[in-house]
Amino acid sequence: MDIRLFKPSVGDEELESIRQVFNKAWLGLGPKVGEFEKKWSEYIGCAESVGVNSCTAALHLALSAFKFTKGKKVLVPVVTFAATAMAVLYNGLIPVFVDVDETTFGISMEDLERKYDQDCVAVIPVHFMGHPIPMDQLISWAKLRGLKVIEDTAHSAGGQYKGKSLGTWGDIGCFSFEEKKCMTTGDGGMISSQDPELLRPLRHSRWVGINKDTWERYEENASYHADANSWYYEISDVGYKYNMNDLMASIGLIQLTKLDAMNRRREAIIGKYVAGLSGGIYVRPAIPYHLQDSSYWAFVVRVKEREQFILHMKKKGVATGVHYMPLTMHPLFAPYAAETPNADTLWRELVTLPLFPDLKDEEIAYVLESVHTYAP
Ligand SMILES: Cc1ncc(COP(=O)(O)O)c(C=O)c1O
């Protein structure tokens, strides 16, 4: 057996959708992006969405929407992918690293209270592996302190908490469609909000600061502009080349129709894993997986002697991963290190096992069998 860790679930329907874009021969930022943004907003239940080329870009632009004074602080969990904290640095702000909850690996509400001070302007919760942060508690805590909430929803496309889509609880939600995530556009991301005014400037920021994208000008020229001025555009602010393009959107439109089914399949696989691990001594589920309306993109276990276990699985032909080393262990973020005792000890036990919708039942059984033959 040779079982990989992640695998995007893409096929003929996505290819057909790409073919249509090829036939139209408009591959860049264009009508497909607009269509995907609209469908995405409808799907998660928000007012407005802006398609970008990654969640990293989404987080960068989302924070920039508030025009925070440089040097202010943003609270971020210490166990997350680099992009969460990188977006804080991109904006000239200071990351304040908050410890994680020992059960869920989400940002710790107790430590948030400890780390908060008057210079904090925002908090970026991450739904670790898709496990929802108790957003009702977090939002009321943040609102009381006047903090903006940017949800890093990279791990949780299609997930819900208390019947409301993840990514719609905070002021802005940022999604990832990178190839390993719940759904994919190759690379890609989405910025979503209930407040269209907040996102309006970000449409320009994602397109090098230009106030009209090429498709808009093309349409003006082709249809209703009587004069020659449709070439004209203005740039008032610094912008970035962060746009989603029609090729990505054409894949996203198909993936969106499969997202619920893919999330249900991941739930079923996790259900088998959790049942199969029960009673085992050395390997146990890392978090209390709630297998309803969930959006887990990865399956994580806790193992005391992690390195031995990883080697054992490798010999069996089962790929594993580690998500994530606390960010303050990286040289870039080390100067911002603060006390995060849960993260410092618990991350050493984390191991990610194979999870993707096309994982076959016999492969799941083989992964479990391989886990069961492990003894330190
Ligand atoms: C928590 C988190 N935030 C943000 C990102 C960035 O996503 P992207 O790869 O789309 O830039 C990732 C990617 O893995 C992530 O895990």
DSSP annotation string for 24-42? HT--SSSHHHHHHHHHHHH
Within-domain flag for 284: yes
Q: Could you give the 3-state DSSP secondary structure of residue 73? A: strand
Are residues 158 and 193 located together in one domain of the fold?
A: yes
Q: What is the pLDDT of residue 81?
A: 98
Q: State which of 53, 56, 206 you would mutate to test the pocket of ligand 1, scoring each by most atoms of that ligand within 8 A of its C-beta.
A: 56
pLDDT at residue 225 above 80? no
For residue 184, name the pLDDT band (cuts at 50, 70, 90).
very high
Residues whose CB is less than 8 angstroms from the CB of residue 359 and which lie 6 or more positions away in sequence, other chains included:
3, 7, 269
Q: Of 211, 235, 257, which residue constitutes the final position of a domain?
A: 257
Q: What is the mean pLDDT of residues 142-163?
A: 98
Structural domain ending residue among the three candidates 257, 274, 290:
257
Predicted confidence (pLDDT) per residue in 28-84, tens digit: 999 999 999 999 999 999 999 999 999 999 999 999 999 999 999 999 999 999 999
Q: In which band, very low, low, confident or very high, does the pLDDT at 226 lie, cut at 50, 70 and 90?
A: low
- What's the confidence (pLDDT) of residue 156? 97
Give residue 320's domain range: 259-372
pLDDT-derived band of residue 128, with 50, 70 and 90 as boundaries? very high
| Residue 54 CA, ligand 1 centroid: distance in Å | 8
How far apart CA 244 and CA 226 sit, in angstroms, is 30
Q: What's the rounded Cα separation, in Å, for the pair 194 and 49?
A: 9
Q: Is 59 in the same domain as 182? A: yes
- Same domain for 327 and 282? yes
CATH code of the domain in which 137 resides: 3.40.640.10
pLDDT (0 to 100) of residue 236: 87
Residues 181, 297 share a domain: no
Mutate which of 5, 52, 53, 55 to test ligand 1's pocket (most atoms within 8 Å of Cβ)?
A: 55
Is residue 3, in this structure, part of any structural domain at all? Answer: no
234 lies in the same domain as 288:
no
What are the backbone angles phi and psi of residue 284, rounded to the nearest 5°?
A: -140, 155
Do 236 and 302 share a domain, yes or no? Answer: no
Residue 291: closest CA among 57, 82, 130: 130
**Which atom of ligand 1 lies at the shortest distance from residue 180's CA?**
14
Q: For ligand 1, what atom is nearest to the CA of residue 178?
A: 10
- The domain tally of the chain equals 2
Residue 342 domain-assigned (yes or no): yes
Q: Residue 299: give its domain's CATH number.
A: 3.90.1150.10
User: How far is the centre of ligand 1, averaged over its atoms, from the C-alpha of 168 (Å)?
Assistant: 18
Residues 179 and 55 occupy one common structural domain? yes
Segment 142-151 shows an average pLDDT of: 98
Residue at 285 is within a domain = yes
C-alpha 307 – ligand 1 centre gap (Å): 25
Together in a domain, 20 and 111 = yes
Helices 196-205, 55-64: crossing angle, 10 deg rounding: 120
Within a domain: 1: no
| 88 and 173 both lie in a single domain | yes
Q: Does one domain contain both 115 and 228?
A: yes
Ligand 1 atom nearest to CA at 80: 1
Cβ atoms within 10 Å, residue 203: 21
Which ligand 1 atom sits nearest the alpha carbon of residue 126?
Answer: 1
Q: What is the CA radius of gyration of the chain?
A: 21
- 318 SS3 class: strand
Using CB distances shorter than 6 Å, the residues near ligand 1 are 54-56, 80-81, 83-84, 126, 152, 154-155, 176, 178, 189
Q: Is the pLDDT reported for residue 193 higher than 70? A: yes
| 265 found inside a domain | yes
Same domain, 82 and 124: yes
- Boundary-marking domain end, from 242, 257, 272: 257
**Is the Cβ–Cβ distance between 66 and 122 less than 8 Å?**
yes
77 in a domain, yes or no? Answer: yes
| Domain contains 5 | no
For residues 192 and 167, give the distance between their C-alpha atoms in angstroms, rounded to a whole number.
7
Q: Is the dihedral of CA 108, 113, 117, 118 positive or negative?
A: positive
126 & 23 share domain: yes
Number of Cβ within a 10 Å radius of residue 317:
13
Give the mean model confidence (pLDDT) for residues 231-242: 91
